[in-house]
Amino acid sequence: MVSKPIEMPDPIRLGGGFELDVRAYQLRSAGIPLKLKPITMELLLLLVERRGELVTREQIVQRIWGKDVFLDTDNSINAAISRIRQVLRDDAEQPHFIQTVTGKGYRFVAPVVEGNPAAVDAVTAVPIIAPEPLVSQTICDGHVPKAAAPRLWPSLLGIFIVLIVGLGVYFQSRSHARPLPSSGRLMLAVLPFENLTGDVSQDYFSDGMTEEMITELGGLNPEHLGVIARTSVMSFKHNPKPLDQVGRELGVQYVLEGSVRRSADQVRVTGQLIRVQDQTHLWARQYDRELKDLLKLQSEIAGEISQEIETALGSNRHSTPLIRPLLSPQELEAHDLYLKGQYFWNKRTGEGLERAITYFEQAITKDPKYARAYAGLANSYALIGGYTGVQRPEFVTNSKTAALRALQLDPSLPEVHTTFALVAENYNLDWQTAEKEYRRAIILNPNYSTAHHWYAENLGGAGSMRRWPRASALANWTLFR
């Protein structure tokens, strides 16, 4: 969980007219408090505390969130670093304050001086400029909202309460079995599909099958069936555990296990639905199909599993899966490239995102109307600056352009709206547009945990007291998925 502010000389001067007041929990420029989220402030404190040293991502996660956390912390770290650089007017390529060590972490390189501010300003040679009002431009509507007022201490305290309560509940849940839901809504975990080809280069295909099944099942009947997010289940790929332990750690009553074997134009998929309580196999199937039937097959499997779970709930209502068309050779090749892009995107490294962009662009070349490839491209450009340590204007432009094209082709994709929200929040500081897009993504797919997680951060960072209960609820929802 968020740690206690560190014991350092107070206040301390960072150069360029910036002053870090640990006791007041503020970063100031020319005496004016600057707007920072609690996670961003904690990261800045950690870097300053260990100035001159390499601070790894793992150390950041442990300091801010603690161990054994299955959240998308990478995006939060990237956003926090980007925000620190923004308020310090730092350049990632020629840093005065924060240096990126590619693939490792970050280092605070500016001298820290107590007392006379002129001493440190002379060392860093960064001009003292009073902060300008933060004005953001709306992505979709083109209007310019008013700048938000500086966050006050009560708002910071409230946001801390949200994070501490949510994370406290999470860590307690890690050591105790979670209770069965009283509302009749059951939870399912799709464990990583096993790659039976014997070729590790085909892992992208089995991982893609896992992610596709999570999406299919999560969108069928969200009121009755919740599906654990990919981030949580993939931790079991190289660390398999007994099913009863999986059930306790993830809080699920059902588990789907599966395997994939792919040849030139054929695919064999096996799956089995297991009730965790007594490890009873409720359903098992093996499918031998042509690759062009892949999307249709995924919908078929999701429909059969949903029916089994509806029967277990005693419901006569059965969800109807979407009817997926057969893929043409061109569409099949584009889909395969898309899966490769998703595989490298999920690695969340600078090199991985660069390769993901290449594959998504190739998929678009093969099928210019493939909306999901545009969405993947938009997400990659939205994150790549934080992972490579190089912020370029074209990254934001390319992300917006790809997301708009995806939205034109298929406005039902929740990841497109989440990308809009991410760009609005991190690059434009446009909280209202970000909230609107997060809410739209959640409406489209109530089981889309990334939207819930990032929306919780958005609400927590907006600094309004009325938002704290909603932020806490979203944080807890995400933690349990």
DSSP sequence for 164-175 = HHHHHHHHHHHT
Q: CATH number, domain at 237?
A: 3.40.50.10610
Question: How does residue 171 score in pLDDT terms, banded at 50, 70 and 90?
Answer: very low
Q: Which of 70-74, 412-416, 435-439 has the highest mean pLDDT?
A: 435-439
Question: How does residue 54 score in pLDDT terms, banded at 50, 70 and 90?
Answer: very high
- State whether 349 and 469 are in the same domain: yes
**Residue 84, in any domain of the structure:** yes
- State whether 280 and 362 are in the same domain: no
Cα radius of gyration rounded to whole Å, the chain: 23
- State whether 301 and 340 are in the same domain: no
Mean pLDDT of 33-39: 77
Burial profile 426-458: b = 16 or more Cβ within 10 angstroms, e = fewer:
bbbbbbbbbbbbbebbbebbbbbbbbbbbbbbb
Mean pLDDT of 325-329: 69
- State whether 380 and 472 are in the same domain: yes
- State whether 333 and 473 are in the same domain: yes
Per DSSP, the residues of 105-149 read EEEE-S--B-S-HHHHHHHHTPPP-PPPP-----TTT---PPPPP
Is the predicted pLDDT of residue 50 greater than 60, yes or no? yes
- Contact between 19 and 117 under an 8 Å Cβ cutoff? The reply is yes
- State whether 400 and 273 are in the same domain: no
pTM for this entry: 0.57
The domain in which residue 440 lies consists of 172-176+329-479
- State whether 335 and 460 are in the same domain: yes
Question: How does residue 135 score in pLDDT terms, banded at 50, 70 and 90?
Answer: very low
The residue among 216 and 234 whose pLDDT is bigger is: 234
**Residue 97, in any domain of the structure:** yes
* Mean model confidence pLDDT for the chain: 74
- State whether 433 and 464 are in the same domain: yes
Q: CATH number, domain at 334?
A: 1.25.40.10
pLDDT digit string (tens) for 385-402?
A: 888 878 788 888 898 899
* Residue 69 DSSP code: -
Question: How does residue 322 score in pLDDT terms, banded at 50, 70 and 90?
Answer: low
- Please tell me the total count of domains within the chain: 3
- State whether 344 and 302 are in the same domain: no
pLDDT digit string (tens) for 268-296?
A: 888 888 889 888 888 888 888 887 777 67
Phi and psi at residue 139, in whole multiples of 5°? -70, -50
Q: Which of 220-234, 277-291, 301-315, 374-388 has the highest mean pLDDT?
A: 374-388
Mean pLDDT of 366-393: 88
Q: Give the pLDDT score at 265.
A: 78
- State whether 338 and 445 are in the same domain: yes
**Residue 161, in any domain of the structure:** no
- State whether 109 and 237 are in the same domain: no
The residue among 202 and 474 whose pLDDT is bigger is: 202
The residue among 256 and 427 whose pLDDT is bigger is: 256
Token pair of 298 as six digits? 């995924």
State the Cα–Cα distance between residues 111 and 36, nearest whole angstrom: 21
Q: Give the pLDDT score at 368.
A: 94
The three-class DSSP label of residue 436 is helix
Is the predicted pLDDT of residue 359 greater than 90, yes or no? yes
**Residue 324, in any domain of the structure:** no
**Residue 136, in any domain of the structure:** no
Domain boundary among 125, 144, 163: 125
**Residue 201, in any domain of the structure:** yes
> For a pLDDT cut of 90, what percent of the chain falls above it?
12
